[in-house]
Structure 1
Amino acid sequence: MSTASPALPDYLSEEILLHPENRQFPPFDVVRLLGTVFEPTAGCRVCILTDFDDPAAEIKDMAFVGKPEFPVQNKAYEAVHQALHGGAMDALGMTGGDFFAYKTTHGSNLDLEDEVWDTQGHQLSLDADIYPNYDIILCISTWSATAPLTAKCKEFGFRGATLHGLNDIILNSGLAVNYDEVSADAERIRLAMTKADDVEIDFELEDGRILTAWLGLAQQEAQKSHGLCKGKAPDVANLPAGEVYFVPSDAHGHFPMKYEDGTLGVLTVKDRNIIKSELIEGDQATIDAHNARLADDPMTGTLGELGFGTQVLPVSGADIQDEKVLGTCHLATGRDDHLGGDIVPEMFKKHENSTHDDILFAPHKTPNFNVKEVRMNRGGKQEIIIENFRPSRYIMDALAEGRD
């Protein structure tokens, strides 16, 4: 990793890059966050959506408040709902502040059921009562709803943000930053990577083996998740933001996978699809279950995203923030229509399979293997993007572009 240029701000200094937990953030402020992300806000009607297995019971009279089994929902209430009603809406010129609950999907980016309940216990319809009647929708949920809300915002014309997995670390770091700065940094990295021909990722295993995954990008325009939904155009931000991403046109090779139970496997990719998993260590039954799922519904193994973090943030324990950390990268399988891709829910054998599942490669998440090097090929020239989970000199130089 290069020594940061004097032109770079403190949060991109060598010391903070090595120890992001030492970065200082201002206190979380709903007015600053929403005012920056959604400018203009005056005249907008805002609401909050969240999820429960039994939404009718838990949202009525705010029955969920204080229950430890609902940490995300309580953060939505404490940090956002109360702040909106404590003066934030007046400061932003907004109205509404209503709280609604829908049934938990139990899958990342699965389409939402239409039924929704208000705090009086009335059953309503997302399509009929929520999407057409609110200008800004904040979805603070257990499971990500970015893909379905992105589709709905185009249909109904609202703006919004998805903040699944919200916790104190995210509130006090990833949501406390200046999103104009986040957007500018993401754009610098986007320009440094856009129209790439392909990317190669070398993974180093503990036994010294190197696995290489190749992802064809076909000179596509790189996209960014930068957190801003300014203006009036329908859009949904994924917060915390800070990411440059591509929809792979092709892929082959191998990459490691750490499953939720700690089992480690090697995944083989051919023609953009994961075709099999093989055990490195752990439970063979976990590998067998994955292979059975791939055989039953091959679309579940289609690679739909390649992403790179662009922010300097502490580890939060939630992928929504941790995949945005500079020096990390991630792949995702499944639907990618919300990213401009061609994989839509109707292509899966079962509705519950039509998820978008991120596979994050980061030191805290995958300590059993190292992202030794990420290389980008563009226009006959090769650039290193990541070295040992650290941004390369090429990326640091890109972040210095255009600064005073």
Structure 2
Amino acid sequence: MLLPDYLSEEIMLNPEKREFPQFSVRKLMSTVFEPTAGCRVCILVDFDEPQKWIKDFAFLEVSEFSVQRKAYENFYQTFKDGVMEELGMHGGEMFSYYCTHGSNLDLRDECFNTAGEQLSLDRDIYPHYDIILCISTWSATAPLTAKCKQYGFRGATMHGMNDIILNSGLAVDYDEVSADAEKVRLAMTQADSIEIDFTLEDGRVLTAWLGLDGQEAQKSHGLCKGKAPDVANLPAGEVYFVPCDARGEFPMKYEDGTLGVLTVVDRNIVKSTLIEGNQSTIDEHNARLADDPMTGTLGELGFGTQVLPVSGQDIQDEKVLGTCHLATGRDDHLGGDIVPEMFKKHENSTHDDILFAPHKTPNFDISEVRMKRGDQEEVIIQHFRPSEYIMNALCS
């Protein structure tokens, strides 16, 4: 079977050379949310002062709100310019809520309309819209997944939106993305375990083992077709598991550039040890683990399935084929057992991705990722490149 152009060797090595169609809200909505006819749609954005900035679209005068501006220009305004009518939808209102300052933290119920009037998400938004688009600073996938099951809406979360994401990760054909994700899912589903080797600059090799107990692999594929309540996290394109167990070590690059080694026992990160950088950063992490151990529980293991350029935002960059990521914290939105109530503090009940990718973690290499499934053993990734096994699955 012939490879699609985007899986060619040249494009895989230089994904920025991949040609994408022009971004189209109409195509995105009609593909992701088929059917759209008769659906009422709205847009949610976040601010520290939501009433102040949403009233009369005051945020458009402030350059720092680039994500919210993109929500206005590419979705709100485009809906009003005729796309909503073409798709048979109605509504199109924009509302603001309080910024959470944490990935996947539950949202405060207060929200505001563009007249500056206070409303309730539970009372005035969730029950009255069929499709809710959340274009925000911080991811809201977990809380909206819980709310969609309660109130019956469909939706999409698109946090951190920028021009690269709009022109690549949101411009793709999501039927194709879903098909590719399913091929990789079938190649990995019911895995008993995954083992990841990380090679550091000094030559040391750290190995993390994750027990999966033969569970069905899941996919983030971007489609919310039909009428069933669901929330897509866009850009999509990954296969993921909820670890049942984990042990070993893996490297961590902190936001300030500090490098540490994380030690994992019984699925929990129990300590961080300095490689280079600031010891105070390591000490702060260890203090947080000691104070609220749930913050170190591994809640996800994910593998990218798309060929996309680096966007600078993990929401897209973790979907790149050849990368993988772990996540700590809540995983109830993934079908896991870690819920916000298990954390000592509400602000700790986040879902935080740890992405391993060449641009993100140039100080170490994923030398190999191996899957064990019964008597079958397969290499999945070598040196941030998909293995022959995965490429053959994509070509099937």
TM > 0.5 between the two?
Answer: yes
Correspondent of 1:377 among 372, 377, 381: 372
Q: What is the SS of the residue equivalent to 1:165?
A: coil
CA–CA separation in structure 2 for the residues paired with 1:293 and 1:85: 46
Query: Match for residue 17 of structure 2?
Result: 22
Contact 1:51–1:103 (Cα < 8 Å) also in 2: yes
Query: Match for residue 360 of structure 1?
Result: 355
Correspondent of 1:287 among 282, 289, 308: 282
How far did residue 68 of structure 1 move? 1.0
Deviations 1:237-270 (A, max 9, x none): 0000000000000000000000000000000000
Quick one: percent identity of the two aligned structures?
78
CA–CA separation in structure 2 for the residues paired with 1:397 and 1:33: 28
Residues paired across the two proteins, number: 396
Correspondent of 1:261 among 256, 276, 283: 256
Query: Match for residue 3 of structure 1?
Result: none
Query: Match for residue 193 of structure 1?
Result: 188
1:325 is aligned to 2:330: no
Matches for 1:1-400 after TM superposition, within 5 Å: 7-400=2-395
How far did residue 291 of structure 1 move? 0.0
CA–CA separation in structure 2 for the residues paired with 1:256 and 1:183: 31
Runs of 4+ in 1 over 4 A off after TM superposition: none
How far did residue 381 of structure 1 move? 1.4
Deviations 1:155-179 (A, max 9, x none): 0000000000000000000000000
The one-letter amino acid paired with 1:236 is V
CA–CA separation in structure 2 for the residues paired with 1:383 and 1:66: 53
The one-letter amino acid paired with 1:392 is S
The one-letter amino acid paired with 1:133 is H
TM-score of the aligned structures, taking structure 2 as reference length? 1.00
Q: What is the SS of the residue equivalent to 1:376?
A: strand
CA–CA separation in structure 1 for the residues paired with 2:81 and 2:383: 45
Deviations 1:369-389 (A, max 9, x none): 001100000011110000000
CA–CA separation in structure 2 for the residues paired with 1:203 and 1:85: 49
Q: What is the SS of the residue equivalent to 2:128?
A: coil
Deviations 1:100-124 (A, max 9, x none): 0000000000000000000001000
Q: What is the SS of the residue equivalent to 2:59?
A: coil
Contact 1:66–1:74 (Cα < 8 Å) also in 2: no
Deviations 1:43-101 (A, max 9, x none): 00000001000000000000001411111101111111111111110111000000000
Contact 1:159–1:235 (Cα < 8 Å) also in 2: yes
The one-letter amino acid paired with 1:60 is K
- 5+ residue gaps, structure 1, are 1-5
Deviations 1:283-311 (A, max 9, x none): 00000000000000000000000000000
CA–CA separation in structure 1 for the residues paired with 2:123 and 2:303: 37
Q: What is the SS of the residue equivalent to 1:46?
A: strand
CA–CA separation in structure 1 for the residues paired with 2:106 and 2:288: 20
The one-letter amino acid paired with 2:42 is C
The one-letter amino acid paired with 2:230 is D
CA–CA separation in structure 2 for the residues paired with 1:88 and 1:14: 37
How far did residue 150 of structure 1 move? 0.1
TM-score of the aligned structures, taking structure 1 as reference length? 0.98
CA–CA separation in structure 1 for the residues paired with 2:240 and 2:79: 32
- 5+ residue gaps, structure 2, are none
Q: What is the SS of the residue equivalent to 1:64?
A: helix
Contact 1:199–1:215 (Cα < 8 Å) also in 2: yes
CA–CA separation in structure 2 for the residues paired with 1:376 and 1:90: 48
Q: Over the residues paired in the alignment, what is the CA RMSD in angstroms?
A: 0.5
